[in-house]
Structure 1
């Protein structure tokens, strides 16, 4: 069965610099949301521009609903792709009010020959309320903030009811409280309307919350494309681990199909994600939630740092061999530890997914 959207072996260069090299990913079904995560300047926004048609690719194929948008022989103009964009530097028409900017999106939808989707189930007034900007209808872009302009641009893109919605850091200029509320409403809108979406973001929690799939873009290519759960718990390379910067790799020996050994921690049991030979030396990923705290344990290490995150703390423990291990503890835990105190680790150690490299 054909996928709803395909980005196949796409390469793009600018001024003889390779920005994208043989990048591939898919959106399996209509209504899915895919996030592209990666460091600044790696080419995330370029992917959106190639999909929209404002950048012409050097090679590869872009397909939407089993129709070729761009390959070596075909190029569909941006205005005929029925794709809506909402970029970080939102380009509202300065001489139009907010309402007039949004109505432009509605008119674009009506006159686009490729748009067979009909009107969106949400009205302009509904969307303005859901994105917390109902009072801005009669204001001009220079009279509103950057964050408000982003949300107006989002309304204009969504109300188009496109075959594909492209969002570039749509919440970059919002405070956390407003961001959380807006993300919740956006997710509800996308799922209830079935609008297929590609989201570019630096925020992995935003990507994990909104997305059915995530792609990690590093060094010009997608190095992992998977569900948010697997991206977090089962990264497929050291590069992905380093990008998220949320765990440490410790040396272990493979004892059996379900057991590893580290000289500081002892035996570690769980399910090995990859198969290794007995006696093989590998590095095991330890994330903060993998080790459990136990005040009564005889396995204790020194606290060398702690980070308070509101609902939780992340302690950093140093072992005799100078490994530094992160451990998650709920902030209401009855015994909070100070630096240089001893901190117990629950035994036997069991980790669901033993991710090794």
Structure 2
């Protein structure tokens, strides 16, 4: 196998390839070519690595270390947070907090069906509060996205269309994002999952925005995969916390590697990160844990992160310090709101 073909088969993102090219001195096009392979070979020689032009795990680790030292890692340009009842109860305060801490995307949680397993009706939280929060965010130039729970039941899906399509239009949401956790993956009497996903695609075919889906890092592919197929983007929940045993410096790589293999590899990813239970992760302070996950995000070239949740950010000084300094031109960190 040629070095060029080897590198292409590694499935590095365009942002990762640009990072590699910047480090090795090649033109930063974001695509592999023979000139880039030659630059890799010369760089490997200078680093006393196996000079074969192939960017395997060992070479990539050296490139990543150099990119970090030389500040050549891709930047995170969009910082979001899932926001629910607390933000709806005080939209002005929530938006002010976002502005002061560099949060420029709100994923507004429009219902709470987290404990549902049996078939049930689809409903929303207080519609007026949802729209008020969305309007306040839009006026502050904060992107608005709507997040809803989802279940694989025909009546539920059709009712979702009746309520969500008008709400998407009214709020000007950039996307509708499904939360496909256990109400989807462990539902009682589910439709066949490919049929449920196809019905969602049909019911929401007239939407004027993108449709995404989030799920836990190790979500079952049999139930999640069909929904991923009909969505425009995916959000793996790359949560490393004091209680789940995941390493913050590895969790993004672990989840992304699995999702790229199990689900459509061409779909864009936004990365879900945890702002909760960061105290007590072995070997990391809370700020170090969050920063380690962000470094992993940048190493993969992803430009969008979404935190669970806005409430957790408001309650944590450590989280605020980290989040306030993610985006290149974000405002400096200041004290949290009361």
Q: Same fold (TM over 0.5)?
A: no
Which protein has the bigger strand share?
A: 1
Bigger Rg over Cα: 1
